[in-house]
Homo-oligomer: A and B are copies of this chain.
Amino acid sequence: MQLVECVPNISEGRRPEVIAAIRAAAESPPGVAVLDVHQDSAHNRSVLTLAGEAEAVLEAAFRCVRAAVERIDLRQHRGEHPRIGAADVVPFVPLGDTPMADCVALARRLGARLGQELGLPVYLYGEAATRPERRLLPNIRRPQFEGLQALIASDPTYAPDFGPARLGPAGATAVGARPFLIAFNVNLATSDLGVARAIARAVRTSSGGLPAVQALGMRTPDPNVVQVSMNLLDFRVTPLGVLFQAVREAAEQRGVRVLESELVGLAPTAALAAVAQSVLSVRHLSAEQTIETRLLEMLLQQRSAGDP
């Protein structure tokens, strides 16, 4: 039983009936739940969060993309967010104890189906990338739909991994695999924004801090509190506890006290298990050792075995 998440980014954030149809398509396979639909009309873009058993989520992702390409014409699409297609980006994300390799395999299988059955050009990105320069999504998306129309046929840099080397009205799709991204903020007892910015620089990857960390110093509504706002891109590379400890030590060095921290949105059980494993000096501790994850897997197994 492999649990996975899939986060299709769809180039439609304005027409509610289109978003509803795409959502309905995504949640039509049994064993899949749509955990969230984030609709953004300025970006004219919606982000769906699906989760469930791997095969069911693969089918859900396919139906979601099909519903999007049937309804969205990129030649008419205007919005602030860069995009190359109706179903713009589709990452698979491991949940439970699912290995990343399984999500890479799902990405490749979805890519192949989208190319063959829907005639969509597909670029593999992230952990599923077939070329190093395609690991980062901005490299794929740079020309956007409009620029990609010429480049896809003429420039080998833009040759798709699956599907034809030409764009239809639904454009192309980037399909990938990536770790779960955790949004994590730490509040500091100071009014000095410079302290938050200095700590952000100390911990983030881009200025030589911890791996897989993005960080910014920010103000908060309380003038006596500033915040180090972080994206942890891979909690297996830098555990949450290690990141928090680094922020706390950097704050202490500056004579500033940590007030509290905040986990924004949902987190995978494995991220909490990793914190507990480290604190409790437990040799083996995984998401599979929680009752809720075991129960989830058993219920999904019953379902796929055709039980009521």
Contacts and interface: CB of A to CB of B under 8 A. Distances in A.
Interface of A: 3, 5, 30-31, 33, 35, 51-52, 95-96, 180, 186, 240-241, 244, 258-263, 265-269, 271-273, 275-276, 279-283, 285, 287, 289-296, 298-300, 302-303, 307-308
A258 B291 CA distance: 27
A95 B292 CA distance: 7
Contacts of A31: 299
B281 A258 contact: yes
Contacts of A271: 276
A33 B291 contact: no
12 contacts: A3-B295, A186-B281, A240-B280, A244-B279, A261-B282, A263-B282, A268-B291, A272-B276, A287-B292, A292-B292, A292-B296, A299-B299
A281 B275 CA distance: 12
Nearest to A51: B295
Copies in the assembly, this chain: 2
Contacts of A5: 291
B275 A307 contact: no
A290 B269 contact: yes
A34 B105 CA distance: 31
Given A33-B302, A292-B292, 19 more contacts: A3-B292, A33-B295, A35-B291, A35-B294, A263-B285, A263-B289, A265-B289, A266-B290, A267-B289, A269-B291, A272-B285, A272-B290, A275-B275, A275-B279, A275-B280, A276-B276, A292-B296, A296-B299, A299-B303
A293 B291 CA distance: 10
